Amino acid sequence: MKRMKLTAVSAENDTSRALRSTLPKLRQMSGREVCAVREANGFLLVRQKGSHRIMQKRLPDTTITIPVPDHRELRIGTLLSIIRQSSLPRSLFETE
């Protein structure tokens, strides 16, 4: 097998790793805690079906709808997705 040079890819991975290590850590949050943060920032609980709470925020030209699982602990990927969808700052969910 031939060895391939991966210097550009390796340098890019090192940069992204360094950037990730400088970001503050996200708190371990429950679905109810996430809903409380949302409500404090203009979202309303519209309905609940099973273990998912559906929250909405109405803006002049659109409506943001976000399902939030009502679990004791949300996985980090789920929390990141909720943060991205809601357009709220990540700092609301970080450790102090």
Average pLDDT over residues 70-82: 93
- Please report which confidence band the pLDDT of residue 79 belongs to, taking 50, 70 and 90 as the band edges: very high
> What CA–CA distance (Å, rounded) separates 80 from 14?
22
For the whole model, what pTM was predicted? 0.71
| pLDDT score recorded for residue 94 | 85
Closest C-alpha among 82, 28, 73 to residue 54: 82
Position 13 in a domain = no
Structural domain count of the chain: 1
Position 56 in a domain = yes
pLDDT over 70 (residue 21): no
Position 76 in a domain = yes
State which residues form the domain around 44.
27-93
Position 4 in a domain = no
Position 48 in a domain = yes
Compute the residue count for the chain: 96
With vertex at residue 70, the alpha carbon angle to CA 38 and CA 77, rounded to the nearest 5 degrees, is 75
Task: Output the average pLDDT for the chain.
Answer: 84
Q: What is the CATH number of the domain that holds 73?
A: 3.30.920.30
